[in-house]
């Protein structure tokens, strides 16, 4: 076994390990094996729910825990909920009202281990093409309702938001950013995999519990054993920034937006050019790796 500087690798999926079509290349799979052989524990940290990434975890032969739904849930390798941080019921109502009044369908992500379905869809507006592709491709279970009052599980919401074009979501995000300050966490950003797979620009509006992020859930998982200096992270998105700020070593993908790249200790290649594998061999599984 190699002597490495890292005990844990925290790994993002979309825009990092996965190509634009949501697949894992042979080179990246081989690099993952090298990380395990070096004795480094892998923690997946993704914006996807467990149901949306379980097939990827199986491809990876991932046996550990996963931080899912942008940091709002910690799941075992069987999908059981270990910990979670839900959205306040009043926040969910406010976001849903604004989204539906703006002529969009509201997507309410549920803790599948506590509910009979993965998403509650609120309103009667047509779904965005990316949402249709996503739900059909991944065979996601849905409950469609006219009003949030019909949601059978109001206390089990992990995320609430919408998928649309940027010009549709930006006004909603601007209003909610002000009204939800100190009550929730809001993100508005592009969807890499959906955009590339459907061939059109796709944006996400996502609202979480106010303390939700990937680092906070990792800290909850590790407890007193956490040692940031022994943790390396690799990612590309807004929801990775707290990890980049707190971990001992941060690798950012070249396809990340410029304001995300500023948090990098090092930059690696693009997600669709095996940038993950290159980073692993250069900085993670090489003995006493040089970070310069």
- Each residue's pLDDT tens digit, 208-252: 999 999 999 999 999 999 999 999 999 999 999 999 999 999 999
What is the percentage of the chain residues whose pLDDT exceeds 90?
88
**Does an H or E element contain 9, and which?**
strand 8-11
pLDDT at 174 over 70: yes
Residues of the chain with CATH 3.30.1240.10: 89-209
* CA atoms of 84 and 91, how far apart (whole Å): 17
What global pTM score does this model have? 0.92
Nearest CA-CA partner of 279 in 91, 3, 1, 6: 6
Q: How confident is the model at residue 290 (pLDDT cuts 50, 70, 90)?
A: very low
Query: DSSP readout, 197-217?
Result: HHTS--EEEEEEETT--HHHH
Name the class of domain 8-84+213-284.
Answer: alpha beta
Contacts of 164 (CB under 8 A, 6+ apart): 104, 128, 202, 203, 205
The verdict on domain 89-209 having CATH code 3.30.750.24 is no
pLDDT at 161 over 70: yes
* CA atoms of 256 and 237, how far apart (whole Å): 6
Residues of the chain with CATH 3.40.50.1000: 8-84+213-284
pLDDT tens for 43-65 read 999 999 999 999 999 999 999 99
């Amino acid at each position: 076994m190699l002597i490495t500087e890292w005990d844990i690798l925290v790994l993002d999926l979309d825009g990092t390990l996965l190509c634009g079509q949501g697949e894992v290349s042979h080179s990246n799979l081989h690099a993952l094996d090298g990380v395990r052989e070096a004795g480094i524990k892998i923690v997946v940290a993704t914006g996807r729910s467990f149901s949306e990434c379980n097939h990827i975890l199986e491809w990876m032969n991932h046996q550990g825990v996963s931080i899912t739904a942008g940091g709002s849930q910690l799941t075992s390798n069987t999908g059981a909920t270990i910990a979670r941080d839900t959205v306040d019921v009043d926040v969910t109502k406010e976001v849903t009202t604004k989204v539906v009044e703006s002529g969009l369908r509201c997507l309410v992500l549920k803790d599948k281990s506590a509910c009979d379905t993965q998403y509650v869809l609120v309103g009667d507006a047509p779904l965005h093409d990316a949402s249709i592709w996503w739900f059909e491709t991944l065979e996601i279970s849905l409950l469609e309702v006219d009003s949030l009052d019909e949601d059978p599980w109001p206390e089990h919401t992990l995320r609430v938001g919408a998928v649309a074009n940027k010009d549709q979501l930006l006004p909603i995000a601007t209003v909610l950013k002000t009204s939800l300050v100190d009550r929730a966490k809001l993100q508005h950003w592009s969807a890499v995999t959906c955009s590339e797979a459907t061939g059109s620009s796709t944006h996400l509006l996502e609202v979480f519990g106010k303390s939700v992020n990937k680092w906070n859930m990792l800290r909850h998982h590790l407890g007193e054993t956490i040692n940031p200096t022994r943790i390396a992270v690799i990612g590309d998105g807004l929801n990775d920034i707290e990890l980049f700020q707190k971990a001992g070593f941060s690798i950012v993908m070249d396809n990340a937006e410029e304001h995300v790249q500023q948090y990098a200790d090092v930059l690696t290649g693009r997600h669709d050019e095996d940038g993950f594998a290159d980073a692993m061999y250069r900085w993670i599984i090489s003995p006493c790796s040089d970070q310069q």
